[in-house]
Amino acid sequence: MIGCDPMNSRYSRATQQLKKHNIRLSNRRLKVLECLCNKLDHPTADQIFVNLHKEVPSLSKTTIYNTLHTLVEIGLVRTLNIEANKTRYDIITEDHGHFGCQTCGRIFNVNIELESLAKGELSGFNIWERNLYFKGICQKCLLNKNKNREVVY
Amino acid sequence: MIGCDPMNSRYSRATQQLKKHNIRLSNRRLKVLECLCNKLDHPTADQIFVNLHKEVPSLSKTTIYNTLHTLVEIGLVRTLNIEANKTRYDIITEDHGHFGCQTCGRIFNVNIELESLAKGELSGFNIWERNLYFKGICQKCLLNKNKNREVVY
DNA sequence: AATAAAAATGTAATCATTACAATTTTTATT
DNA sequence: AATAAAAATTGTAATGATTACATTTTTATT
Ligand SMILES: [Mn+2]
Ligand SMILES: [Mn+2]
Ligand SMILES: [Zn+2]
Ligand SMILES: [Zn+2]
According to DSSP, residue B144 is labeled: H
Residues of chain A in Cβ contact (below 8 Å) with chain B: 79, 81-85, 87, 97, 99, 102, 110-112, 114, 117-118, 121-122, 124-139, 142
Q: What residues pack around ion ligand 3 (CB closer than 5 A)?
A: A 101, 103-104, 138, 141
CA separation for the pair B98, B83 (Å, rounded): 12
A9: burial class by Cβ within 10 Å (0-12, 13-18, 19+)? Answer: exposed
- Quick one: A82 and A15 in the same domain? yes
Half-sphere exposure for B133 (CA within 13 Å, toward CB)? 23
Judge contact between A29 and A64, C-beta under 8 A: no
Q: Which of these three, B69, B89, B109, is where a domain ends?
A: B89
**Could you tell me what percent of chain B has a pLDDT over 90?**
84
- Quick one: B66 and B121 in the same domain? no
* Chain B residues touching A133 at Cβ < 8 A: 130-131
Handedness of CA A142, A145, A146, A147 (dihedral sign): positive
CA separation for the pair B129, A20 (Å, rounded): 40
CATH number at residue B116: 3.30.1490
pLDDT at A74: 96
Q: Where are the alpha helices (DSSP H) in chain A?
A: 9-20, 27-37, 45-53, 61-73, 139-152
**What confidence tens digit (pLDDT) does each residue in B112-131 have?**
999 999 889 999 999 999 99
Q: Nearest CA to B108 among B80, B85, B128, B130?
A: B80
Integer-rounded Cα radius of gyration of chain A? 18
- Quick one: B107 and B40 in the same domain? no
Q: Which nucleotide is nearest to A87 (CA to C1')?
A: C16
Per-residue pLDDT of chain A (153 residues; tens, 9 = 90+): 445 655 588 999 999 999 999 999 999 999 999 999 997 789 999 999 999 999 999 999 999 999 999 999 999 999 999 999 999 999 999 999 999 999 999 999 999 999 999 889 999 999 999 999 999 999 999 999 887 766 555
Mean pLDDT across B20-39: 94
Mean pLDDT across B22-35: 96
- Quick one: A83 and A42 in the same domain? yes
Residue B140 lies in a domain: yes
Judge contact between B98 and B108, C-beta under 8 A: yes
Q: Look over chain B and give the mean of its residue pLDDT values, rounded to a whole number.
A: 91
* Chain A residues touching B97 at Cβ < 8 A: 117-118
A99-137 CB burial, b ≥16 within 10 A, e <16: bbbeeeeebbebebebeebbeeebeebbbeebbbbbbbb
- Cα of A108 from ligand 1 centre, angstroms: 7
* Chain A residues touching B79 at Cβ < 8 A: 84
CA separation for the pair A54, A1 (Å, rounded): 9
Q: Which of these three, B45, B66, B89, is where a domain ends?
A: B89
CA separation for the pair A62, A43 (Å, rounded): 16
Judge contact between A122 and B135, C-beta under 8 A: no
pLDDT at A99: 97
**What confidence tens digit (pLDDT) does each residue in B64-116 have?**
999 999 999 999 999 999 999 999 999 999 999 999 999 999 999 999 999 99
Handedness of CA A115, A118, A120, A123 (dihedral sign): negative
Q: Which of these three, B48, B67, B89, is where a domain ends?
A: B89
> Does the structure show a pLDDT above 70 at B1?
no
According to DSSP, residue A151 is labeled: H
CATH number at residue A65: 1.10.10.10
Segments forming the whole domain that contains residue A135: 96-149
Handedness of CA A28, A30, A33, A37 (dihedral sign): negative
What's the total number of domains in chain A? 2
